[in-house]
Each structure stands twice: as C-alpha cells, then as structure tokens.
Amino acid sequence: MITTIKPNVLSRTLLLFMMAVILLAGVSCDSSPSPKQQEPAENKPATDNRGVIVAMGDSLTSGLGVPPEDAYPAQLERLLAERGHDYRVINAGISGETSSGARSRVNWVLKLKPDIVILETGANDGLRGIDPNLIEDNIEQIIVRLKEEDITIVLAGMMMVTNLGKDYIANFNSIYPRLAQKHQVILMPFFLQDTATEPSKNQADGIHPNSEGYRIITANLLPFVEKAITSDSQ
C-alpha cells in the first residue's frame, strides 16, 4: 500500500526555490557526470556487516552547502542507529544531476550492493522543461534496474514550479505517484515537505536546505525508510 501525504500549497518561495536550484547546482542537466563522479567511493570496512542504504540524487541529496555530517544521508544514518536499525547510509548524490545522469550511473550505484535505495531525481529536468515522458522513462528504467537486483526502493517525489504552465505541472507532478503505483515502490510524495516554503529552514541562498532543514527532511523521510527496512527484512 502506498502512503500519501497531501503537500502544502506551493508558495512564491517554492517558485523561487525551484527556479534557482539548477543555477546553483553548477552542472548542466544535459551532461552526464564524469566516471570519477559517477562511481561512489566504497568505504565499507571488511568487518562492517550492517545493511546498506544508498541515497541517490542531486544536490538535495549530496547536501550542497552544508557539512557532510548535516546532509540528510548522514543524519538518517544517525537517526536509524538511535532507533535500533543496523544500517549505514551512503551519500551518492551529485549536484546538478538530472534523471538522465542518474540513469547512466545506476550500475555504479549497484556496485555498493545496496539493500535499499532512496531515489531523489527529476527536479533539474523539470526546471529545464524537459519532456515529462522522458523524465518518467528515465526514472522508470532506474526503478526497473534496481528491482532486477531485488533492491527495495523509496521514491522521493518532487513538484514543479507554477510558471511552466498547468499542463506541464500536472504531467510532471503525476510522474512519481504513477511510477510508485505501477512498480509498487514506497513513495515519499514530496521530498521538500515542510522546508521549501520556510526561509529559516534554508541556507542564505534561500534555495538549499540548511542543517535544520535537513533535520526536518530526515524526520519526514524516516517512516518511509523504516517501511523499506521492514520490507527488506521479509
């Protein structure tokens, strides 16, 4: 069963947020990351028997502008440990990445042998006005590839800015729930819930979450990840 949350009405702050994300990400949407960027470092000690969660995404996952320990993957690992879940969380985010870039490096992510993947991608595509059908196909192929390896997926939904037109917004916003339903993956309906419209939860640029913003994102994400852990253990 897919859990749904009705997101708050997008405000002008969210409009400015989403319009500027790609400008500060510093990477072209049409260019794939270099192989050096694509291959996440494998730092697992030989004696580390914990489960593996890979956080795959763009600058919102990589934690652009905050210390590594404050990005959501690091905060999530600590929170899971506090709740008795024996998992490490690998930050495999790349600033500026599009769904095409994510699709091109999914096999690199698989080298980390994840039990669970948190997939957050597509916002940069939308800001460039890329065809929602292409975005959906990219995300779907990532999901299919991960499921071929029996990996549990948490899909982080995104919502698009209002200046792109009603049809585009409707088509974009429907991608995530449709794919979650089709492939029976766990859906977090809106990754930036409770942070995108709150200036105090973002950095000075008014765009990327600050440490407190990431704390809120992590807390919102937690029940979906715990659902994935339960599914992974069955």
- What is the value of pTM for the model shown? 0.82
* Residue 125 among the catalytic residues: no
- C-alpha distances (whole Å) from 58 to each of 99, 199, 223 are 9, 21, 22
pLDDT at 6 over 50: no
Task: Report pLDDT digits (tens) over 31-55.
Answer: 334 333 444 444 555 567 899 999 9
As a whole-number percent, the residues of the chain with pLDDT over 70 amount to 79
Highest mean pLDDT among 24-33, 52-61, 225-234: 52-61
User: Which of 59, 62, 95, 100 does the annotation list as catalytic?
Assistant: 59
Nearest to 29 by CA among 120, 106, 123: 123
> Rounded to whole angstroms, how far apart are CA atoms 89 and 75?
9
* Burial call 50-81: b when 16+ CB within 10 Å, e when fewer: bbbbbbbbbbbbbbbbbeeebbbbbbbbebbe
Q: Work out the mean pLDDT of the chain and round it to a whole number.
A: 84
- C-alpha distances (whole Å) from 145 to each of 22, 41, 120, 187, 196 are 26, 21, 15, 17, 30
* Residue 100 among the catalytic residues: no
Domains and CATH numbers, the chain: 12-41+48-233 (3.40.50.1110)
Going through 23-151 in order, the beta strands assigned E by DSSP cover: 51-57, 87-93, 116-120
Residue 213 near residue 63 (C-beta atoms within 8 A): no
**Of the ranges 39-48, 100-109, 135-144, which one carries the lowest mean pLDDT score?**
39-48
* Residue 194 among the catalytic residues: no
User: Which of 115, 137, 194, 205 does the annotation list as catalytic?
Assistant: 205
pLDDT for 45 equals 52
Instruction: Report phi then psi at 81, rounded to 5.
Output: -60, -40
